[in-house]
Amino acid sequence: MIRKNLSATKWQALARSSPPLLAMWADPTTIYAAFMDGAAPQLVSCPAPDGRFASFSAQHPAAAWFERAIQDLWGLEAVGSIDGRPWLDHGRWPVLNPMSSRPVRHGSAPPQPEFLEALGAGVHQIAVGPVHAGIIEPGHFRFHVVGETLVRLEARLGYTHKGTLGLMLGKSPRAAARFPARLSGDSTVAHSLAFALAAEQAAGITAPPRAVAMRAAMAEIERIANHLNDWGFICNDAAFPAVHARTGVLREALLRACHVAFGHRLMMDRVLPGGVATDIAAGGLGLIADALASIEAELPALERITASHASLQDRLVSTGIIAPGLAALLNAGGVVGRASGRAVDARAVPGYAPYDELEVVPITRTEGDVAARLAVRQDEIRESLRMLHIIAAGMPEGEIMTALPGRAGEGFALVEGFRGECFCWLRLDDGGLIQAAFLRDPSWLHWPLLEAAVQGNIVADFPLINKSINGSYSGVDL
Amino acid sequence: MLWPSLAKNLISRPLTDPAPATRPEEVAALAAMLEASARRRLGRSLAIRQVDAGSCNGCELEINATQNVVHDLERFGLRFVASPRHADVLLVTGPVTRNMREALERTRAATPEPCFIVAVGDCAIDGGVFKGSYAVEGGLAAETRPGEAMMRPDIRIPGCPPTPTQIIQGLLTLLAAQE
């Protein structure tokens, strides 16, 4: 049994003990939570026959967003929650609680959103979004400012809610794989892999060795491409487009190589439950090796340019600080957590194949500012390049797909994407179809930290801080 | 030293791709459509406002890539602007989530005439894989009023996501149809 079913009393005791929370979700009758228990993720659940459960949020602030989403989607109420406002439901769906056993029709006008207040002399509000000025995802930011200084930020998301979890139900893992692949397009490999590993655990199979190696290669390529992108955009937002231009060229060559090798620039729909969709095309491996060699060759120059321009460093250093204590309280993983001193990386702990043979050491900084988050990304590009050399050298031959038997089961996985750990849990019915599922992007634990990181900074630094955290909107909107 | 870098630049080729070709039949069809709707022509320069109506951010990655050094969208007279009030083109991605529909409609209302609509990606065309969900309208073709599509796209650029080259090709078709 991969999950402990708790009584309501035991659930309440757990809520008070404040474990390092990874995720909370539900099905129509049960509440679930995942947290880290030492080196292993621990899954617990508790029946909620009367539609109520004890809230985690008083002890664990990150739980508030999950509990609001659970209320909106499944209609289960978190008793004692610190925030009862709707989250994903903006009052615009044709039904209430669409994931509950009996969604009711809903026809009234959407309510005005309520925002947390900031009171004091000279405080005024700036409302931004959902349509932003740049080419980014939609969301609403409500700033409270005094002069140029940010006093409070509240992010209101949910604009990209597509009903992803609902669309997965009743489908085979193979048919449902296109939804985790589109939870957050930039993390398509990582979420597809988390989903595939969870489905394989539920079905009691493992992917063939060649598929395992190919998946890891794709995941590291995805990490490099995204870290290059973030590096460029951070510099661009600090009025330094030269680095952005070069990282753009390097990334483009890598994506084109992926297009040849895997048939898709972002490698979407390539990782499937049981293995991978297609083998590496002829000539693809050489192009990828060339693109990676160009990146490796140019890294020192890009690092030197980024480090040696005082105007750029002036914008990055001591901007948007996330204190280590706060990152720990939110149990933040990924680049954001590691830049604030947390030595966490799902490839190392709990770990999964083939990373047990690749000696993954989490790269950390303690400053917690924009510069630290950029530095972690730079070092991780180098680490991914190192791992890719080893993966390519030892690429096994053979099958790339194991058939999934149609049987009942339950599985979960934690996979390190470029942002942080992507969590997936699912349960299959007797016919092997998905009965319940949850996908959690690492951004769930990063968005609240953005709200904290901007306090005391100036409005003009918000884009820079936002870019350095780079939360996914679609990833948390589901 | 100036000479080594000058010499290097003289012998190195530009990083930028050649312009993708447009299909004459697509250009002719679009030109006829624009003629029929009697829309004023805007010349060889278009200001584009991108609206994410609930995408997975895959389309945004590729739209952003149209601006990199290799694709360099601006050399064609195409540029992205921050406000719909400055825009000639709305570039829409995503299946039009119910939570984004009003924002999209208000963005359209804020864009001056003539306004061209470009649907980028399978989701914006008909909802893509998210078609049928309670949370989406189902792309720009969705009937939000009986018998009436929400917005009629002038150009549809299919793909999940379309490549930067395909996106540029679609926008160049829009330019060519106005000549």
**pLDDT confidence tier of residue A235, bands split at 50, 70 and 90:** very high
As a whole number of angstroms, the distance between CA A89 and CA A72 comes to 6
Specify whether A95 is located in the same domain as A173: no
A465–chain B nearest CA distance, Å:
19
Please give the single-letter amino acid code of residue B20.
P
The residue of B56, B71, B73, B144 whose CB has the most chain A CBs within 10 angstroms, and thus the best one to mutate to test that interface, is: B56
CA dist B153 to B62, B114, B126, Å? 19, 13, 11
B32–chain A nearest CA distance, Å:
31
Residue A330 has pLDDT above 80, yes or no: yes
DSSP classification of residue A185: G
Peptide bond into A396 cis (omega under 30): no
Residue B161 falls within a domain, yes or no? yes
Q: Scan residues 279-338 of A and list those with Cβ closer than 8 Å to B.
A: none
Helix A370-393 to helix A284-308 angle (10° resolution) is 150
Is A161 in contact with B62 (Cβ distance < 8 A)? no
Considering only CA atoms, which of B117, B124, B132, B128 is closest in space to residue B101?
B124
Residue A325 has pLDDT above 80, yes or no: yes
The shortest CB-CB distance from A133 to any of B65, B82, B129 is to B82
The pLDDT value given to residue B178: 76
Residue B141 has pLDDT above 90, yes or no: no
* Chain A residues near residue B15 by CB distance under 8 angstroms: 249
Cβ proximity of A410 and A199 under 8 Å: no
A448–chain B nearest CA distance, Å:
20
Is B60 in contact with A183 (Cβ distance < 8 A)? no
As a whole number of angstroms, the distance between CA A243 and CA A249 comes to 10
The pLDDT value given to residue B37: 63
Residue A123 has pLDDT above 80, yes or no: yes
Domain boundary among A70, A105, A140: A105
Specify whether A438 is located in the same domain as A290: yes
CA dist A315 to A58, A143, A241, A460, Å? 35, 20, 14, 10
**pLDDT confidence tier of residue B40, bands split at 50, 70 and 90:** low
* Chain A residues near residue B51 by CB distance under 8 angstroms: 131, 138
Cβ–Cβ contact A268 with B under 8 A:
yes
**pLDDT confidence tier of residue A119, bands split at 50, 70 and 90:** confident
Specify whether A184 is located in the same domain as A36: no
**Dihedral pair phi/psi, residue A46, rounded to 5°:** -155, 130
Residue A477 falls within a domain, yes or no? no
CA-based nearest residue in chain A for residue B85: A133
* Helix, coil or strand: residue A85: coil
pLDDT above 70: percentage of residues in chain A: 100
Is A162 in contact with B70 (Cβ distance < 8 A)? no
Residue B57 structural domain = 46-172
pLDDT in tens, B96-126: 999 999 999 999 999 998 899 999 999 999 9
Specify whether A200 is located in the same domain as A98: no
Specify whether A198 is located in the same domain as A315: yes
Average pLDDT over residues A64-86: 95
pLDDT in tens, A347-397: 999 999 999 999 999 999 999 999 999 999 999 999 999 999 999 999 999
The shortest CB-CB distance from B100 to any of A94, A138, A167 is to A138
CA dist B116 to A153, A201, A323, A413, B59, Å? 35, 49, 47, 45, 19
**pLDDT confidence tier of residue B38, bands split at 50, 70 and 90:** low
The average confidence (pLDDT) of chain B is 89
**Dihedral pair phi/psi, residue A246, rounded to 5°:** -75, -45
Candidate from A12-21, B104-113, B152-161 with smallest mean pLDDT = A12-21
User: Which CATH number goes with the domain that contains B109?
Assistant: 3.40.50.12280
Residue B55 falls within a domain, yes or no? yes
As a whole number of angstroms, the distance between CA A273 and CA A160 comes to 26
Average pLDDT over residues A268-290: 95
Question: DSSP per residue over chain B, as a string?
Answer: -HHHHHHHHHHSPPSSPPPPPPPHHHHHHHHHHHHHTTPPP--S-EEEEEEESS--SHHHHHHHHTTSTTT-GGGGTEEE-S-GGG-SEEEEESS-BHHHHHHHHHHHHHSPSS-EEEEESHHHHH-GGGTT-TTB--STTSEEETTEES---SEEE-SSSPPHHHHHHHHHHHHHTT-
Cβ–Cβ contact A192 with B under 8 A:
no
ipTM here: 0.95
Average pLDDT over residues A276-304: 95
Is B97 in contact with A159 (Cβ distance < 8 A)? yes
Specify whether A172 is located in the same domain as A285: yes
Specify whether A207 is located in the same domain as A340: yes
Cβ–Cβ contact A182 with B under 8 A:
yes
**How many structural domains comprise chain B?**
1
Sort residue A445 into left (φ over 0), alpha (ψ -120 to 50) or beta.
alpha
The residue of A73, A90, A131 whose CB has the most chain B CBs within 10 angstroms, and thus the best one to mutate to test that interface, is: A131
Cβ–Cβ contact A265 with B under 8 A:
yes
Specify whether A29 is located in the same domain as A174: no
pLDDT in tens, B86-95: 999 999 999 9
User: Which CATH number goes with the domain that contains A96?
Assistant: 3.30.460.80
pLDDT in tens, A73-82: 999 999 999 9
Specify whether A329 is located in the same domain as A258: yes
* Helix, coil or strand: residue A20: coil
Beta bridge partners of A77: A52
Is A131 in contact with B56 (Cβ distance < 8 A)? no
The pLDDT value given to residue B39: 60
Candidate from A96-110, A201-215, B63-77 with smallest mean pLDDT = A96-110
Beta bridge partners of A32: A25, A45
Candidate from A115-119, A137-141, A149-153 with smallest mean pLDDT = A115-119
Cβ–Cβ contact A470 with B under 8 A:
no
The residue of B12, B48, B52 whose CB has the most chain A CBs within 10 angstroms, and thus the best one to mutate to test that interface, is: B52
Is B103 in contact with A131 (Cβ distance < 8 A)? yes
Candidate from A33-47, A80-94, A182-196, B1-15 with smallest mean pLDDT = B1-15
Residue B12 falls within a domain, yes or no? no
pLDDT in tens, A440-457: 999 999 999 999 999 999
Residue A284 structural domain = 164-442
Is B130 in contact with A164 (Cβ distance < 8 A)? yes
Specify whether A230 is located in the same domain as A343: yes
The pLDDT value given to residue B4: 82
Residue B70 falls within a domain, yes or no? yes
DSSP classification of residue A338: H
- Residue A24 tokens read as 């909370």
**How many structural domains comprise chain A?**
2
As a whole number of angstroms, the distance between CA A328 and CA B155 comes to 48
Question: A–B: how many Cβ contacts below 8 A?
Answer: 140
Specify whether A210 is located in the same domain as A93: no
Domain boundary among A89, A105, A121: A105
Specify whether A210 is located in the same domain as A336: yes
Contacting residues for A438 by C-beta, under 8 A, at least 6 apart: A23, A25, A32, A165, A423, A424, A425, A426
The average confidence (pLDDT) of chain A is 95
Peptide bond into A130 cis (omega under 30): yes
